[in-house]
Amino acid sequence: MKSSGASGKYPSKNAKDSDPLLPKNFDAPPGSLPTQESAAKLEYMLYGRRWFMLALFGSVCFVNNVVWLTFATVEETAQTYYNKTPFQIDIHAIVFQGIATILCLVGSSIIDTRGLRISITIAAAVNFFGSWVRCITYFVKPDYAFWVEIAGGSIVALAQPVLLVGATKIAANWFGPNETTVATGVAALSNLIGMAASFALSFALVKKGNDFIILYLVHAGIATVSSIPTIIFFRSKPPTPPSGSANSKMEDKLTLHDFKYIFKQPSFFVLFISFGIGFGIFASLFSILDQILEPSGYSEMESGYIGIAMIVSGLIGAAISGPIVDKWKIYKEILIVGFFGTAASSAYFYLALYTTYIPANKYIVGSALCLCGFFAVSILPLSLDAGVEVTYPAPEATATGLLVLSGNLFSIIILVIMNVLQKPDDGSMIDSVRFLLAMVGASFFLVIFFKKDYKRIAYEKNENQIATPINAQ
């Protein structure tokens, strides 16, 4: 059912108070919720294929991030081979960040109005086509080959706005109430696995300039293996809904009122700022890790290995926090622990790298950054899922898109300020790291004010509406 307008989509207080199915302070689109009589007849199903759908989506995200960080660990080789400046080489990554920032809300709108199947199959096709375009560089002189690579990379980048916001939607459409946080985490963290794989592939395959074509062919091969089954088999949702909240959702055109409703939720506004700062801190730290460590004697390769270790640590953290939240629904508590752990480990890193209070060596500095990754990465997918909880029944991709937009904006701001604070004489970034510590502290302080206003959970718990999902054969 489609609503007739913004005023009908989010009813007045008197309208919602008259519905015995709804918890207090709960807004829902009229007609999108089952009636009290029909709710008792519903039987929600969990299909085994939901994990296959999640794997397909994750594979598309994986490919996109593998291509994104093509030059991250082989930048000097790329500069020499293509005869380009560092900034020109960075154009490849800047295009991804720019498109993700500018078009993330467009990606949200496409998912919410056109559905997951159309959105994700287009993203898979874009990955496939752009990755193979980059292989044309084999037939072009290096000076021109670089711009062919940029063209192919830009095509792949067009998929990112959809992929960055799709995690919560696939979790809501396919997974039960006690699985959404884990599903969101797996989908979102496939991006980080792709980043780590990109680092490793570049290390292993590129020893000289002529090796770039081998790297591009490997990327294109991975894109092919991911894209073909996704285009053939991926579906938006199962034949029957996995939960009451999934059954209540409806496809609708986005309106300005949707955004007003989302930002009227105090908990979402807290997440919008705290998640944006947290995402910006991690993205900035990861992007210029070599720049931070190099003045202290770390090589480009050592910085790369530490970056991979940070991601692996974050995956472990997410694997622990996701099931805990799904079981006990303690979003606020885990968010506070995550932000506090990020702040404490960042302070540990600062003391180890720049002071004599902690005997510094590469293992201690590396362990400090791994702890930072453990806490910082684990709270990112948790924040996305919490954003859906506190804005239900608003479209999942819209709420997620707004959080991603905040993260990208803060990433740019924090990265620029950290570069400005770098000391010109010796390249030290001690002032930049101090600024980073201040931002981490601010995000921890802010998340304390996050309110436990879990609308989707409240809806699922309503005894007259909820039915226990059963596994479909």
For residue 470, the SS3 value is strand
* Per-residue model confidence (pLDDT) at position 32: 44
pLDDT at 5 over 50: no
pLDDT at 463 over 60: no
The domain covering 45-461 belongs, at the CATH homologous superfamily level, to: MFS general substrate transporter like domains (1.20.1250.20)
Residue at token pair 């209540």: 248
Q: Which residue has the higher pLDDT, 349 or 72?
A: 349
Amino acid letter, residue 429: M
Distance of CA 346 to the CA centre of its chain: 21
**Integer Cα distance of 394 and 58 in angstroms:** 24
Residue at token pair 């859906």: 388
Q: Is the pTM here over 0.85, yes or no?
A: no
pLDDT at 38 over 90: no
**Integer Cα distance of 458 and 106 in angstroms:** 30
Q: Which residue has the higher pLDDT, 404 or 469?
A: 404
In this structure, what token pair is assigned to residue 150? Answer: 């940029």
Count CB neighbours of 66 within 10 A.
28
Q: For the chain, how many residues are written?
A: 473
**Integer Cα distance of 89 and 79 in angstroms:** 7
* Per-residue model confidence (pLDDT) at position 215: 97
Under the banding of pLDDT at 50, 70 and 90, the label for residue 301 is: confident
**Integer Cα distance of 43 and 244 in angstroms:** 9
pLDDT digits (tens, 9 = 90+) for 435-461: 999 999 999 999 999 999 999 888 877
Count CB neighbours of 368 within 10 A.
23
* Per-residue model confidence (pLDDT) at position 25: 45
Mean pLDDT of 340-348: 95
pLDDT digits (tens, 9 = 90+) for 368-384: 999 999 999 889 899 99
Under the banding of pLDDT at 50, 70 and 90, the label for residue 19 is: very low
Q: Using alpha carbons, select from 468, 387, 379 the residue that is nearest to residue 168.
A: 387
In this structure, what token pair is assigned to residue 466? Answer: 């909820």
pLDDT digits (tens, 9 = 90+) for 390-446: 999 888 889 999 999 998 889 888 888 888 898 888 888 899 999 999 999 999 999
Exposed / middle / buried, residue 439 (Cβ in 10 Å: 0-12, 13-18, 19+): buried
Residue 68 near residue 127, CB atoms below 8 Å: no
For residue 471, the SS3 value is strand
In this structure, what token pair is assigned to residue 471? Answer: 């596994």
Amino acid letter, residue 363: Y
pLDDT at 178 over 50: yes
Count CB neighbours of 17 within 10 A.
13
* Per-residue model confidence (pLDDT) at position 24: 45
pLDDT digits (tens, 9 = 90+) for 87-111: 788 888 888 878 888 888 889 889 9
In this structure, what token pair is assigned to residue 310? Answer: 């940070």
Mean pLDDT of 266-281: 93
Residue 4 near residue 16, CB atoms below 8 Å: no
Residues 6+ away with beta carbon under 8 Å from 471: 45, 46, 47, 48
